[in-house]
Amino acid sequence: MEVITPAAIEVSLAVQEELQSRLDEADRLRRKQVERARYEALLAQRRYLRVDPDNRLVTDALEADWNKKLRELLEAEREYQRQHAEDRKTMEEEQRSRVMDLSTSFPRLWNDPRTPDRDRKRLARLILEDVTLTKGIEITAHVRFKGGLNKTITVPLAKNGWKKYMTAPAVIAEIDRLLNDHPDWEVAKILNERGLASGRQLRFSATIIAALRKRHNLKSRYARLRGAGILDAAELAQLLGTCTRTIYIWHKNGKLRGHLYNNEGAYLYELPGIGSALEDPNRRYRHGKPS
């Protein structure tokens, strides 16, 4: 059998006080309804008494209205008495026993991972009177329970969100190194194969790599290639006196060295040097064929 501790009794009393407070508020609202019905009945009575008795048409209508208001008053009073009796039942010994059971199982309910946060908030409102927080080198919480019990709790300062979820500097450095030879999606694939994860412990993707590049001011694969003098298809075609379609054909046939730079399969190209398959100073290339 579970032992009821003083702290559990304090919790039970606090819960009972909260229930009683809610019942009192409901009782007050129902009393106002009865008072409103009584006022309406008195008002109907005054109207009836002020009318000329010889005016039977008006008199009959006002009398009927008065009787109606009296019936509504009687019904409101009966409903009030019924609800009042029901409210008293909720605080009988059986209900008190259930509240005590709730207090003893409070830690189990609170720590159960299946308990949603909204229910934890409701539980907290049942037992807490107020909480005062002070911030220094740590957070100090002065907690006052509704049963009168006080407790002081100290916890370390939480990390800032951006620090808590910051990707490790060593991982950022590796991303910077990999971008020299790989586009974003390949960098993500390599990091995932190594078992590395982002600051939020997510698998890397091209989107995450792009976001980290921008946040840490890392040059993209495209910017690095352009900085090294690598050309796009139009630029290379103009230099070689041909068209971009020919550049694509030469690259496909292995006559040009291309560098993949994005996630859509786009390439930048190196200008062919001396001794390459395309090098012939006496020929002019047009549409992939020497002319």
Residues 41 and 93 in one domain: yes
Number of domains in the chain: 3
Distance CA 266, CA 185 (A): 13
Residues 90 and 19 in one domain: yes
Question: Is residue 168 a part of any domain in this protein?
Answer: yes
Would the pLDDT of 268 be above 90? yes
| Averaged pLDDT, 241-254 | 91
Question: Is residue 88 a part of any domain in this protein?
Answer: yes
Residues 214 and 234 in one domain: no
The residue assigned the tokens 């976001």 is 211
Q: List own/partner pairs for 274-280 with CB under 8 A and 24 or more apart.
A: 278/240, 278/250
CA distances from 177 to 12, 78, 187, 194, 218 (A): 62, 82, 10, 15, 10
Residue 27: give the domain boundaries. Answer: 6-107
Residues 13 and 98 in one domain: yes
Which of helix, strand or coil describes residue 259? strand
**Domain boundary residue, one of 107, 136, 152:** 107
Residues 24 and 92 in one domain: yes
Question: Is residue 131 a part of any domain in this protein?
Answer: no
Least confident of 28-42, 66-80, 91-105, 161-175: 91-105
163-184 pLDDT tens trace: 666 788 889 999 999 999 999 9
9-55 pLDDT tens trace: 456 656 666 777 777 888 888 889 889 989 998 998 888 888 887 77
Residues 187 and 248 in one domain: no
Which of helix, strand or coil describes residue 24? helix
* pTM summary value: 0.40
| Averaged pLDDT, 267-289 | 58
Least confident of 116-130, 168-182, 232-246: 116-130
Residues 196 and 235 in one domain: no
Q: Which two tokens stand for residue 228?
A: 């090294």
Question: Is residue 123 a part of any domain in this protein?
Answer: no
Question: Is residue 102 a part of any domain in this protein?
Answer: yes
Question: Is residue 207 a part of any domain in this protein?
Answer: yes
Q: Which helix (H) or strand (E) holds 286?
A: strand 285-286
Asked if 114 and 126 touch (Cβ cutoff 8 Å), the reply is: no
Question: Is residue 282 a part of any domain in this protein?
Answer: yes
Question: Is residue 147 a part of any domain in this protein?
Answer: no
